[in-house]
Amino acid sequence: MASKGNIVPWSFSKIKAFQQCPKQFYHTKILQQYPTVETEAMRYGTDVHLACEEYIRDDKPVPKKYEYVIPALEALKDIKGEKLCEYELGLTEDRRPCGFKDDEAWFRGIADLIILNREDKLAWVVDYKTGKNTKYADKGQLELMALAVFKHFPEVERVKGGLLFLVAKELITNEVSSTRAGDKWYKWNNEFLQMKSALDNDVWNAKTSGLCYRHCDVLECPHNGRNK
């Protein structure tokens, strides 16, 4: 019997959670047995994102403790195009654009910032990061958001993406052309189908890592050291 719950709407974060450990994904995302507990780092990231959004959209001053982000934000302001902050993107299963909260939404993504240059048929997608280094930066997020942008803004032919590490002062970039969108969707659809197969067959295999023994919340897993 298939598991209760669902995997749609899916997102980049769901794909990453499933890849990290299907069993953990099942207990936290499908059964929702272990709600996310907000950490100090998460609160910090939320506050920085809000400061960036309000500075770009409303010209609201950045709180003094976050003023280190201003040079990066000024550079973004200087890029030609309409600035869309915290922009919600929804797609149906046949990849038509839809509202983020629509019942038919199959995929959901939120862009911290989209800079839309209709004249040049170009868009920037920027995601703010508050991590201290770029060692584990994943450009897949930029690629997937670019595919959603092409659907919502069909006049766009190129999407330049950036993971903007505000603390580390580094920008990890990626570029996707609309002519390659089909190939990219094939890859991401396969990622989605792996999650769907796990749900359909109710098979959620555990993946071990150095975080299992002390840091995973899923006590049902044999690799969790806190269930002893």
The Cα 177–Cα 180 span in angstroms is 6
How many CB atoms lie under 10 A from the CB of residue 48? Answer: 21
Chain Cα centroid distance, residue 212:
23
How many CB atoms lie under 10 A from the CB of residue 180? Answer: 13
**Residue 3: per-residue pLDDT:** 41
Chain Cα centroid distance, residue 138:
10
Structure tokens at 14: 């769901």
Give the pLDDT band (50/70/90) at residue 4: low
Q: What residue type is 138 in one-letter code?
A: D
Q: What residue type is 196 in one-letter code?
A: K
Question: What average pLDDT does the segment 216-226 reach?
Answer: 82
pLDDT, tens only, 99-138: 999 999 999 999 999 999 999 999 999 999 999 999 889 9
Q: What residue type is 170 in one-letter code?
A: E
How many CB atoms lie under 10 A from the CB of residue 108? Answer: 22
pLDDT, tens only, 34-80: 988 899 999 999 999 999 999 999 999 999 999 999 999 999 999 99
The Cα 174–Cα 186 span in angstroms is 18
**Residue 214: per-residue pLDDT:** 75
Q: What residue type is 201 in one-letter code?
A: N
Residue 214, phi then psi, degrees to nearest 5:
-115, -20
